[in-house]
């Protein structure tokens, strides 16, 4: 995995001037991602006990793109993300049906190796979830769990990934101090580093900026932009201006009488500038949701 320069050094960062209007076109053209399906969901449905949470989702996610998953609370965004690395298996009473493939891998097949799947598909959550250990140990643990024990190899992987998330200079002198002493934004970048240290193909980000202050949120957002082309990223966000700034594609979900469904999926430009469905128009314009 190459060390990726922070987005701000590669492209102008998101425009956060006071009064910035999210509907004004973003100040740079998003590079094209590969029009190659990486994740494919067909008739994907999720229920908790007997209650349907998500129904019949058909969706293709392109490789190397940033896809924003948007929609009102309770429409199944988190459930959808969690099915992709089978974290749904850990919820008693949760049932996932339909088809879900990452490249050729049949995610839902009982024989799928979950350790391999979760190495391939990293996930981070709204609230940074650092382990109550040192910064170094937070990154060594996943490496050890996936078979790397050599100290030199681990040290170089840790430096590389901390560089990648722009944390190296901030923490290189305190790697053995508690990760919980870091700021919220630093903790979230450490969580991202913990996912990236396993060289995943796919990153699932569930509202990664919503618990952060605006400055930290901007840093994490720039970092996510810098992942474009290197990873397939799905990001749940309630912040439509953020989706508009960073996403190549947008998947819009809605809850119909408590059952989540995919309403529309398309390029960010299509969804924000010429959505096909009335519900999308209402949601994007802030009239519903």
Ligand X SMILES: Nc1ncnc2c1ncn2[C@@H]1O[C@H](COP(=O)(O)OP(=O)(O)OP(=O)(O)O)[C@@H](O)[C@H]1O
- Interface with ligand X (CB under 6 A): 48, 53, 73-79, 91, 258, 260
Q: Which residues contact 232 (CB under 8 A, 6 or more apart)?
A: 38, 39, 61, 62, 63, 64, 65, 67, 201, 202, 203
- 182: closest CA among 146, 132, 239? 132
Closest CB 236 distance from Mg ion, rounded Å: 6
Smallest gap from Cβ 110 to ligand X, in A, equals 21
Nearest approach in angstroms of CB 126 to Mg ion is: 8
Residues 21, 27, 33, 35, Cα dihedral to 10°: 60
- For Mg ion, the binding residues (CB under 5 A) are 78
Of 36 and 91, which has the nearer Cβ to ligand X? 91
Binds 53: which of ligand X, Mg ion, none (CB < 5-8 Å by kind): ligand X
Query: Cα separation of 269 and 267, whole Å?
Result: 5
Coil, strand or helix at 149: coil
Nearest-approach distance from CB 57 to ligand X, in angstroms = 12
The entry of ligand X, Mg ion, none that residue 181 binds, CB within 5 to 8 Å by partner kind: none
C-alpha span between 172 and 25 (Å, rounded): 39
Is the CB of 76 or the CB of 185 nearer to ligand X? 76
Compute the least distance from the CB of residue 181 to ligand X, in Å. 28
Give the residue carrying structure tokens 């992709």.
84
Contact partner at residue 91 from ligand X, Mg ion, none, CB < 5 to 8 Å by partner kind: ligand X
Which partner in Mg ion, ligand X, none is near 122 (CB below 5 to 8 A by kind)?
none
User: Considering CB distances under 5 to 8 angstroms, the limit depending on partner class, which of Mg ion, ligand X, none binds residue 203?
Assistant: none
Does residue 1 contact residue 160 with C-beta atoms inside 8 Å?
yes
């Amino acid at each position: 995995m190459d060390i990726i320069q922070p987005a701000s050094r590669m492209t102008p960062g998101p425009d956060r001037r006071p009064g910035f209007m999210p509907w004004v076109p973003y100040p740079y053209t998003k590079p094209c991602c590969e029009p190659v399906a990486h994740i494919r969901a067909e008739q994907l449905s999720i229920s908790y006990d007997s209650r349907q949470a998500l129904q019949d989702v058909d969706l293709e996610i392109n490789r190397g793109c940033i896809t924003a998953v948007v929609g009102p609370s309770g429409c199944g965004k988190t459930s959808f993300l969690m099915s992709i690395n089978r974290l749904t298996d850990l919820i008693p009473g949760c049932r996932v049906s339909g088809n879900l493939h990452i490249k050729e891998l049949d995610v839902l097949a009982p024989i799928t190796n979950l350790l391999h799947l979760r190495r391939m598909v990293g996930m981070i959550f709204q609230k940074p979830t650092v382990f109550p250990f040192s910064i170094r140990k937070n990154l060594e643990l996943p490496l050890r769990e996936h078979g790397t024990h050599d100290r030199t190899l681990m040290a170089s992987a840790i430096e590389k990934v901390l560089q990648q998330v722009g944390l190296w200079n901030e923490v290189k002198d305190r790697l053995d101090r508690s990760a919980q002493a870091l700021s919220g934004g630093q903790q979230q970048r450490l969580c991202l580093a913990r996912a990236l240290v396993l060289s995943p193909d796919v990153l699932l980000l569930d509202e990664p900026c919503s618990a952060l202050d605006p400055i930290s949120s901007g840093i994490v957002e720039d970092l996510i932009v810098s992942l474009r082309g290197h990873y397939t990223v799905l990001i749940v966000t309630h912040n439509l201006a953020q989706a508009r700034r960073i996403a190549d594609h947008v998947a819009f979900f809605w809850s119909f009488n408590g059952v989540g469904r995919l309403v529309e999926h398309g390029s960010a430009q299509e969804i924000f500038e010429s959505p096909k469905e009335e519900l999308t128009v209402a949601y994007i314009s802030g009239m519903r949701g």
